[in-house]
Amino acid sequence: MLDKKTLFSAVQPSGVPTIGNYVGAINNFVKLQDDYNCIYSIADLHCLTVRQNPAELRQATLGLLALYIACGIDPEKCIMFVQSHVHEHAELTWVLNTITYPGELNRMTQFKDKSRSHADNVNMGLMDYPVLMASDILLYGTSVVPVGADQKQHIELTRDLAIRFNSRYSDTFIVPEGIIPKYGAKIMSLADPTKKMSKSDENLNAFISLYDDTDTIIRKFKRAVTDSDTKIYFDPENKAGISNLLTIYSVFAGVSIDEAVRQFEGKGYGDFKIKVGEAVAEGLKPITEKRLELMKNKDYLNKVMIDGAEKASRIARKTLSKVYRKVGLYRAE
Interacting residues with ligand ATP (CB under 6 A): 11-12, 14, 20-21, 23-25, 147-148, 150-151, 185-187, 196-200
Residue 83, classed as helix, strand or coil, is helix
What is the dihedral angle through the alpha carbons of 326, 327, 330, 333, rounded to the nearest 10 degrees? -20
Virtual torsion, Cα 274, 277, 279, 285, nearest 10 deg: -140
**Residue 108 interacting entry, from ligand ATP, ligand LTN, none, C-beta within 5 to 8 Å by type:** none
Report in angstroms how near the CB of residue 18 gets to ligand ATP at its nearest.
7
Q: Taking the complex as a whole, how short is the minimal distance between the CB of residue 202 and ligand LTN, in angstroms?
A: 19
Q: Is the dihedral angle over the CA atoms 180, 129, 69, 290 positive or is it negative? A: negative
Contact 67, 210 (CB under 8 A): yes
Binding mask 9-48 for ligand LTN (x = CB under 6 A): xxxx------------------------------x--x--
> Which of 44, 88, 128, 136 touches ligand LTN by CB under 6 A?
136
Q: Which of 5, 195, 199, 231 is catalytic?
A: 199
66 binds ligand LTN (CB under 6 A): no
- Contact between 303 and 293 under an 8 Å Cβ cutoff? The reply is no
Residue type, 177: E
Instruction: List the one residue out of 195, 250, 247 whose CA is nearest residue 225.
Output: 195
298 is catalytic: no
**Catalytic-residue membership of 114:** yes
Residue type at 322 in one-letter notation: K
Is 196 catalytic? The answer is: yes
Task: With H, G, I as helix, E, B as strand and everything else as coil, classify residue 11.
Answer: strand
Indicate which of ligand LTN, ligand ATP, none lies near residue 196 (CB less than 5 to 8 Å, by partner kind): ligand ATP
Q: Are 188 and 197 in contact (CB under 8 A)?
A: yes
In the bound state with ligand LTN, the residue whose beta carbon lies nearer, of 19 and 261, is: 19
Q: Catalytic one among 186, 196, 220, 239?
A: 196
Residue selected from 26, 71, 145, 208 as contacting ligand LTN according to rule CB under 6 A = 145
Picked from ligand LTN, ligand ATP, none, the partner binding residue 250 (CB below 5 to 8 A depending on kind) is: none
Q: Which range binds ligand LTN by CB under 6 A, 132-140, 198-206, 226-234, 325-333?
A: 132-140
For residue 25, the 8-state DSSP code is I
Query: Quick one: which of 48, 86, 92, 147 contacts ligand LTN (CB under 6 A)?
Result: 147
DSSP annotation of 187 reads P
CB of 200 to ligand ATP, least distance (A): 4
Q: Are 228 and 238 in contact (CB under 8 A)?
A: no
235 CB burial (10 A radius; 0-12, 13-18, 19+):
exposed
Residues that bind ligand LTN (CB under 6 A): 8-12, 43, 46, 133, 136-137, 145, 147, 151
Catalytic site positions = 114, 196, 199
